[in-house]
Structure 1
């Protein structure tokens, strides 16, 4: 952890620096909740009100290695989401790599703000594109990820600011992984009648009928800005997006799970992703100096 981040934590009551594997982390130990955020990728990997289990899923195969993206929690996909070639042309022309999901998931973010209160902890991690990023992307931008933790909910807000002299187009996602005891019992409510792109069926445009259920490999981009209810045995999440008109629903199922890194062969049965996003048609274009906020609030019903 860099010296400025250490200094910021010296006099904190609830927050302390730590490590997971090779990675620097900030651990929050509040009377009402606990949380862990990695500085690599600004990635939330643990949040739970006191006495509850982690609201997020992290692979049991994860070893938290430097320079490797972490499988689980809430990875940040920025300044583009998904495969390069599937992004809008205005986003693609900034990219100089075939790397999927942008480059900040393994970037080193800096702790730039922290506030402790009796009922909440807020923190901000920041990243500015540098000379190394120029090999991958032509844009100039700053990303700030704001976290707010309470005993009832957790909120993440990703703020993108165009620091260049020309308009800048972005796609992004807060790639949330959720745990379940049985993927076959999960139902997602709030996508009823929404249009979606089925990436496993030739990127065909479809219309959702009823609740979303998992019965095979699933990789869909929904166009909706609605509050979602994610029902899994023993727990119902409420996911409230902001600054987002798209969401990704994903589970690798049997065959793809065997090909994934940091992922056990049978772990597809115990996880699913619902990602708050600005993807495909929902991309964002920023004028010089302009900012955009993409956020989500997670609570339980």
Structure 2
């Protein structure tokens, strides 16, 4: 029996709970942020720190935060890190169930305060397609008469059990910026982890895999030539908000993005869809 139900977290945040024969999932209206997705008979595919308090106004430390309409630090230091979309209330604008696959669309209406950050005539929506695979699509439409430029990311946190055993594959031929330096040419196809990793990749192929003690996670991207690979390691974990000192051992972020030379340039009337697709392989 497929169910899509709106509920309220004890700390006040509203969310949508999905329960089907394919999966269980939970998506918060704040940030249109999915924090839980578990295919039937398999382990969860998203990670959340148990230090997170799910308080209104703070993005959840885990799942898939939506970084929009800029990724990272804005040129104006007073603007919020990774944009404002992840702390705003989105509206569940469409729900469809087709052959027990659940399709949800969330829309963000910009307030007058938001227009101080983003004075452009655009529309942004996020689509979720939930079966035993999770497909998330961030849709931008330029409704105005001027070209609009933005950067964005679907900031996905993955559970990996033991970062020392993690091998990320699918990076051959790419280049990356790390800690503001580069670009560097990727050395081989694999990335392993023994220090803080904060790489912004470009010229990256559309499929990567995370080889974990629990299995292999496949991560696909569409309309994206860039991605972010991040683990804060020991020192940074000690001062990150809503993050335990040892959380770095059990998570990694691999984020579908449009950043650096892959930034999104929307002409008037143009639409762009950034998609990430994740599954246990």
TM-score normalised by structure 1 residue count: 0.89
Matched, 1:118 2:102: no
Gaps in structure 1 of 5+ consecutive residues: 1-11, 86-94
1:4 is matched with which residue? none
Matched, 1:203 2:181: yes
Q: CA deviation at 1:105?
A: 0.3
Q: CA deviation at 1:96?
A: 8.5
TM-score normalised by structure 2 residue count: 0.95
Matched, 1:128 2:118: no
Q: CA deviation at 1:166?
A: 1.1
For the 8 Å contact 1:128–1:141, the answer to whether it is kept is: no
Q: CA deviation at 1:251?
A: 0.5
Matched, 1:83 2:73: yes
Match of 1:212 among 182, 188, 191: 191
Q: CA deviation at 1:82?
A: 0.7
Q: CA RMSD in A?
A: 1.5
Q: CA deviation at 1:272?
A: 0.5
Gaps in structure 2 of 5+ consecutive residues: none
2:41 is matched with which residue? 51
1:163-174 map, 5 Å: 163-174=143-154
1:106 is matched with which residue? 87
For the 8 Å contact 1:129–1:140, the answer to whether it is kept is: no
SS of match in other structure, 1:221: strand
Matched, 1:18 2:1: no
Q: CA deviation at 1:99?
A: 1.6
Q: CA deviation at 1:143?
A: 0.8
Residues in 2 aligned to 1:164 and 1:128: alpha-carbon distance in whole angstroms: 15
Q: CA deviation at 1:299?
A: 1.4
Matched, 1:66 2:47: no
Q: CA deviation at 1:287?
A: 1.3
Residues in 1 aligned to 2:13 and 2:43: alpha-carbon distance in whole angstroms: 22
